[in-house]
Chain A
Amino acid sequence: DSGVTQTPKHLITATGQRVTLRCSPRSGDLSVYWYQQSLDQGLQFLIQYYNGEERAKGNILERFSAQQFPDLHSELNLSSLELGDSALYFCASSPRTQTDTQYFGPGTRLTVL
Protein backbone atom coordinates (compact mmCIF):
# COMPACT_ATOMS: atom_id res chain seq x y z
CA ASP A 1 0.00 0.00 0.00
CA SER A 2 1.59 3.25 -1.19
CA GLY A 3 -0.55 5.52 0.98
CA VAL A 4 -2.08 7.21 -2.08
CA THR A 5 -5.82 6.67 -2.40
CA GLN A 6 -8.01 7.06 -5.45
CA THR A 7 -11.76 6.94 -5.90
CA PRO A 8 -13.70 5.52 -7.52
CA LYS A 9 -11.99 2.27 -8.39
CA HIS A 10 -14.15 1.73 -11.45
CA LEU A 11 -16.26 4.14 -13.47
CA ILE A 12 -18.49 3.32 -16.42
CA THR A 13 -20.09 6.14 -18.35
CA ALA A 14 -21.28 7.14 -21.81
CA THR A 15 -19.74 9.26 -24.52
CA GLY A 16 -20.27 12.97 -24.06
CA GLN A 17 -20.48 12.72 -20.28
CA ARG A 18 -18.28 14.32 -17.64
CA VAL A 19 -16.61 12.54 -14.71
CA THR A 20 -14.43 13.50 -11.77
CA LEU A 21 -11.67 11.33 -10.41
CA ARG A 22 -10.35 11.95 -6.93
CA CYS A 23 -6.93 11.44 -5.39
CA SER A 24 -5.63 11.81 -1.84
CA PRO A 25 -1.84 11.95 -1.65
CA ARG A 26 0.32 10.33 1.01
CA SER A 27 0.32 12.20 4.28
CA GLY A 28 2.76 15.10 4.05
CA ASP A 29 3.21 14.95 0.27
CA LEU A 30 2.74 18.29 -1.47
CA SER A 31 2.99 17.19 -5.10
CA VAL A 32 0.32 15.29 -7.00
CA TYR A 33 0.75 13.88 -10.49
CA TRP A 34 -1.85 12.43 -12.86
CA TYR A 35 -1.07 9.74 -15.43
CA GLN A 36 -3.15 7.96 -18.05
CA GLN A 37 -2.46 4.33 -18.91
CA SER A 38 -4.10 2.96 -22.02
CA LEU A 39 -3.45 -0.20 -23.99
CA ASP A 40 -1.79 1.51 -26.92
CA GLN A 41 -0.09 4.46 -25.22
CA GLY A 42 1.41 3.08 -22.06
CA LEU A 43 1.79 5.39 -19.07
CA GLN A 44 1.46 9.03 -20.07
CA PHE A 45 2.02 12.00 -17.79
CA LEU A 46 -0.91 14.41 -17.76
CA ILE A 47 -0.32 17.11 -15.18
CA GLN A 48 1.35 17.93 -11.87
CA TYR A 49 0.25 20.13 -8.98
CA TYR A 50 2.43 21.32 -6.15
CA ASN A 51 0.84 22.77 -3.03
CA GLY A 52 -2.22 23.89 -4.96
CA GLU A 53 -0.47 25.31 -7.99
CA GLU A 54 -0.07 23.76 -11.42
CA ARG A 55 3.61 22.91 -11.85
CA ALA A 56 3.97 20.90 -15.05
CA LYS A 57 1.78 19.87 -17.93
CA GLY A 58 2.11 16.88 -20.19
CA ASN A 59 -0.14 15.39 -22.83
CA ILE A 60 -3.37 16.55 -21.28
CA LEU A 61 -6.30 17.24 -23.56
CA GLU A 62 -8.20 20.52 -23.35
CA ARG A 63 -11.29 18.51 -22.36
CA PHE A 64 -9.43 17.46 -19.22
CA SER A 65 -8.65 19.65 -16.25
CA ALA A 66 -7.37 19.18 -12.74
CA GLN A 67 -7.01 21.03 -9.50
CA GLN A 68 -5.45 20.58 -6.09
CA PHE A 69 -7.33 21.75 -3.05
CA PRO A 70 -6.04 23.35 0.19
CA ASP A 71 -6.16 19.96 1.92
CA LEU A 72 -3.88 18.74 -0.92
CA HIS A 73 -6.30 16.25 -2.42
CA SER A 74 -6.67 16.53 -6.17
CA GLU A 75 -9.40 16.00 -8.71
CA LEU A 76 -9.11 15.21 -12.40
CA ASN A 77 -12.11 16.29 -14.45
CA LEU A 78 -12.74 14.63 -17.80
CA SER A 79 -15.47 16.10 -20.00
CA SER A 80 -17.07 15.42 -23.38
CA LEU A 81 -15.85 11.88 -22.99
CA GLU A 82 -14.93 9.83 -26.02
CA LEU A 83 -14.45 6.09 -26.44
CA GLY A 84 -10.71 6.64 -26.62
CA ASP A 85 -10.65 8.10 -23.12
CA SER A 86 -11.20 4.63 -21.70
CA ALA A 87 -8.09 3.91 -19.69
CA LEU A 88 -6.62 3.57 -16.26
CA TYR A 89 -5.96 6.88 -14.56
CA PHE A 90 -3.30 6.95 -11.89
CA CYS A 91 -2.46 9.54 -9.34
CA ALA A 92 0.99 9.70 -7.77
CA SER A 93 2.39 11.87 -5.01
CA SER A 94 5.77 12.95 -3.75
CA PRO A 95 6.93 15.04 -0.78
CA ARG A 96 8.08 18.04 -2.72
CA THR A 97 8.95 17.96 -6.36
CA GLN A 98 11.55 17.21 -8.97
CA THR A 99 13.95 14.98 -7.08
CA ASP A 100 11.44 12.98 -5.07
CA THR A 101 10.27 9.49 -5.87
CA GLN A 102 6.65 9.34 -6.96
CA TYR A 103 4.36 6.83 -5.24
CA PHE A 104 1.34 5.67 -7.20
CA GLY A 105 -2.23 5.04 -6.15
CA PRO A 106 -4.24 1.99 -7.21
CA GLY A 107 -5.84 3.81 -10.13
CA THR A 108 -9.33 4.43 -11.47
CA ARG A 109 -10.45 2.34 -14.41
CA LEU A 110 -12.64 4.46 -16.69
CA THR A 111 -14.78 2.78 -19.31
CA VAL A 112 -16.59 4.97 -21.83
CA LEU A 113 -19.36 3.17 -23.71
Chain B
Amino acid sequence: GESVGLHLPTLSVQEGDNSIINCAYSNSASDYFIWYKQESGKGPQFIIDIRSNMDKRQGQRVTVLLNKTVKHLSLQIAATQPGDSAVYFCAERYGGAQKLVFGQGTRLTINP
Protein backbone atom coordinates (compact mmCIF):
# COMPACT_ATOMS: atom_id res chain seq x y z
CA GLY B 1 0.00 0.00 0.00
CA GLU B 2 1.00 3.61 -0.47
CA SER B 3 2.75 4.78 2.63
CA VAL B 4 4.30 8.12 1.73
CA GLY B 5 3.58 11.22 -0.22
CA LEU B 6 3.19 11.17 -3.98
CA HIS B 7 5.53 14.08 -4.70
CA LEU B 8 8.80 12.84 -3.22
CA PRO B 9 12.15 13.52 -4.81
CA THR B 10 13.16 10.40 -6.71
CA LEU B 11 16.55 8.91 -7.33
CA SER B 12 16.92 6.24 -10.00
CA VAL B 13 20.08 4.18 -10.17
CA GLN B 14 21.29 1.16 -12.04
CA GLU B 15 21.57 -2.08 -10.14
CA GLY B 16 25.13 -2.45 -8.93
CA ASP B 17 25.87 1.28 -8.91
CA ASN B 18 26.37 3.31 -5.77
CA SER B 19 23.52 5.52 -4.52
CA ILE B 20 23.84 8.79 -2.69
CA ILE B 21 20.80 10.20 -0.95
CA ASN B 22 21.03 13.69 0.46
CA CYS B 23 19.27 15.44 3.30
CA ALA B 24 19.39 19.00 4.56
CA TYR B 25 18.51 19.28 8.21
CA SER B 26 17.06 22.27 9.91
CA ASN B 27 18.43 22.76 13.38
CA SER B 28 22.06 23.53 14.11
CA ALA B 29 21.43 22.29 17.68
CA SER B 30 20.60 18.78 16.47
CA ASP B 31 23.02 16.27 17.93
CA TYR B 32 21.81 12.95 16.61
CA PHE B 33 20.78 11.83 13.13
CA ILE B 34 19.24 8.66 11.80
CA TRP B 35 18.49 7.22 8.38
CA TYR B 36 15.40 5.09 8.00
CA LYS B 37 14.24 2.98 5.07
CA GLN B 38 10.53 2.54 4.43
CA GLU B 39 9.31 -0.08 2.02
CA SER B 40 5.78 0.07 0.68
CA GLY B 41 3.25 -0.95 3.30
CA LYS B 42 5.79 -1.19 6.10
CA GLY B 43 7.04 0.92 8.95
CA PRO B 44 10.32 2.82 8.84
CA GLN B 45 13.31 0.53 9.39
CA PHE B 46 16.48 1.77 11.09
CA ILE B 47 19.53 1.76 8.81
CA ILE B 48 22.29 3.74 10.47
CA ASP B 49 22.79 6.63 12.86
CA ILE B 50 25.45 9.21 13.58
CA ARG B 51 26.11 11.62 16.41
CA SER B 52 27.12 15.20 15.85
CA ASN B 53 30.63 14.62 17.17
CA MET B 54 31.33 12.43 14.15
CA ASP B 55 31.46 13.22 10.44
CA LYS B 56 31.36 9.71 9.02
CA ARG B 57 30.06 6.33 10.04
CA GLN B 58 30.04 3.09 8.11
CA GLY B 59 27.77 0.10 8.26
CA GLN B 60 27.21 -2.86 6.02
CA ARG B 61 27.10 -1.41 2.47
CA VAL B 62 26.02 1.96 3.88
CA THR B 63 27.92 5.07 4.90
CA VAL B 64 26.52 8.21 6.48
CA LEU B 65 28.33 11.51 6.12
CA LEU B 66 27.58 14.55 8.25
CA ASN B 67 28.60 18.09 7.34
CA LYS B 68 27.61 20.33 10.22
CA THR B 69 28.91 23.45 8.52
CA VAL B 70 26.20 23.34 5.88
CA LYS B 71 23.75 21.19 7.88
CA HIS B 72 23.86 18.36 5.38
CA LEU B 73 23.57 14.64 5.79
CA SER B 74 24.04 11.97 3.14
CA LEU B 75 23.51 8.25 2.91
CA GLN B 76 25.66 6.26 0.53
CA ILE B 77 24.59 2.78 -0.47
CA ALA B 78 27.22 0.66 -2.17
CA ALA B 79 26.40 -1.77 -4.98
CA THR B 80 22.68 -0.98 -4.95
CA GLN B 81 20.40 -4.01 -5.10
CA PRO B 82 16.71 -4.38 -6.04
CA GLY B 83 15.90 -4.84 -2.36
CA ASP B 84 17.14 -1.31 -1.70
CA SER B 85 14.11 0.14 -3.48
CA ALA B 86 12.26 2.15 -0.86
CA VAL B 87 11.72 5.63 0.50
CA TYR B 88 14.62 6.84 2.62
CA PHE B 89 14.12 9.34 5.43
CA CYS B 90 16.64 11.25 7.42
CA ALA B 91 15.64 12.26 10.92
CA GLU B 92 17.23 14.64 13.38
CA ARG B 93 16.90 15.00 17.10
CA TYR B 94 17.44 18.28 18.83
CA GLY B 95 19.73 18.19 21.83
CA GLY B 96 17.75 17.16 24.89
CA ALA B 97 14.51 16.60 23.03
CA GLN B 98 12.74 13.30 22.69
CA LYS B 99 11.10 13.53 19.32
CA LEU B 100 12.54 12.81 15.93
CA VAL B 101 11.96 15.34 13.16
CA PHE B 102 11.79 13.62 9.80
CA GLY B 103 12.75 14.96 6.41
CA GLN B 104 10.39 14.61 3.49
CA GLY B 105 11.98 11.43 2.17
CA THR B 106 13.58 10.36 -1.09
CA ARG B 107 12.26 7.52 -3.21
CA LEU B 108 15.03 5.25 -4.49
CA THR B 109 14.24 3.13 -7.53
CA ILE B 110 16.57 0.54 -8.99
CA ASN B 111 16.82 -0.02 -12.72
CA PRO B 112 17.74 -3.58 -13.75
Q: Which residues of A contact B (CB under 8 A)?
A: 2, 4, 31, 33, 37, 39-40, 42-45, 48, 55-56, 58, 88, 90, 92, 97-99, 101-107, 109
Contacting pair B4 A2 (CB below 8 A)? no
A-B pairs with beta carbons under 8 A, tally: 64
Interface of A is mostly: strand
Q: Which single residue of chain A is at the shortest CB-CB distance from B1?
A: A109
> Measured between C-beta atoms, what is the minimum distance from A52 to chain B in Å?
15
* B98 x A56 contact (CB < 8 A): yes
The answer to whether B43 and A104 have CB atoms under 8 Å apart is: yes
Residue of A nearest to B36 (CB): A104
Q: Is B78 an interface position by the 8 A CB rule?
A: no
Contact residues on B (Cβ < 8 Å of other chain), bracket: 20 to 34
Verify B98–A48 contact, CB threshold 8 A.
Answer: yes
Q: With both chains docked as a complex, state the minimum distance between the C-beta of B50 and any C-beta of chain A, in angstroms.
A: 12
Q: Is the contact region of chain B dominated by helix, strand, or loop, or is it mixed?
A: loop
A56 touching B5, Cβ below 8 Å: no
Nearest B-chain residue to A38, judged by Cβ: B5
Distance to closest chain A CB from B60 (angstroms): 16
Residues from chain B with a CB closer than 8 A to the CB of A33 are 98-100
Nearest Cβ on chain A to B45's Cβ, whole angstroms: 7
Q: Give the interface of B toward A (CB within 8 A).
A: 1-6, 32, 34, 36, 42-46, 49, 89, 91, 96-105
From B2, B32, B43, B100, name the one whose CB has the most chain A CB atoms within 10 angstroms: B43
Nearest neighbor of A41 in chain B, beta-carbon distance: B5
A42 touches B42 (CB 8 A): no
Q: Which of A40, A43, A48, A92 has the most CB of B within 10 A?
A: A43
CB distance from A57 to the nearest CB of B (A): 9
Indicate which residue in B2, B5, B42, B98 contacts A98 across the interface (CB closer than 8 Å): B98
Query: Is B99 a contact of A90 with CB atoms below 8 Å?
Result: no
What separation, in Å, do the CA atoms of A90 and B43 have in the docked complex?
A: 7
